[in-house]
Amino acid sequence: MKRLLLSIITFAVCALCSGKSVTLSINGIRETKGTLLIMVETLDATDKTAKPVMLMREVSGHKMEIAFEIPEWSKFKVSAFIDTNDNKQLDMDEYGRPTEGFIQQVFTGKDLTKGLLTAKVVYLQ
């Protein structure tokens, strides 16, 4: 009985630790104030239980590197924006275009093997 319980606990811990450490390198940041809000989510339609990884970091310069853990997804999307007015939402102009810098980029499992994801902030204005 003790072996079974120990095996179950070991399996559960291994399942939780099966994530991959990655670094997101972000270039092209115009503002040096504000908060960077990041969401990483799987694009695998068969994995209905996967929860997105969400992070918030203070903007610390024109280039930032952020380390975090994500599951080993085969395809995933990184969405982020720089919240310059601290309202926790991506602001839009009267035509529905973002007025704050944002990132929306798709990566694959091959990108995870490198451990470094590179993205550039897009500004429409």
Report d(CA 26, CA 38) in Å as an integer. Answer: 11
Average predicted confidence (pLDDT) for the chain:
87
Give residue-wise pLDDT tens across range 40-63: 999 988 888 899 999 999 999 999
Report d(CA 116, CA 21) in Å as an integer. Answer: 9
pLDDT at 18: 59
Q: Token pair 């995870």 is at which residue?
A: 112
* Residue 10 pLDDT class (50, 70, 90 cuts): very low
Report d(CA 80, CA 29) in Å as an integer. Answer: 12
Task: Centre a 10 Å sphere on the Cβ of residue 25 and count the other Cβ atoms it contains.
Answer: 13
pLDDT at 15: 44
pLDDT at 63: 97
pLDDT at 113: 86
Question: Which residues have C-beta within 8 Å of that of residue 21, sequence separation ≥ 6?
Answer: 67, 68, 69, 115
CA proximity to 92, closest of 51, 125, 55, 56: 125
Query: Domain locations in the chain?
Result: 19-120
Contact 104, 53 (CB under 8 A): no
Give residue-wise pLDDT tens across range 77-99: 999 999 999 999 999 999 999 99
pLDDT at 46: 83
Q: Which of the residue ranges 6-10, 28-32, 41-45 would you say has the lowest mean pLDDT?
A: 6-10
Give residue-wise pLDDT tens across range 96-107: 999 999 999 999
**19-120: what CATH class?**
mainly beta
Report d(CA 10, CA 12) in Å as an integer. Answer: 5
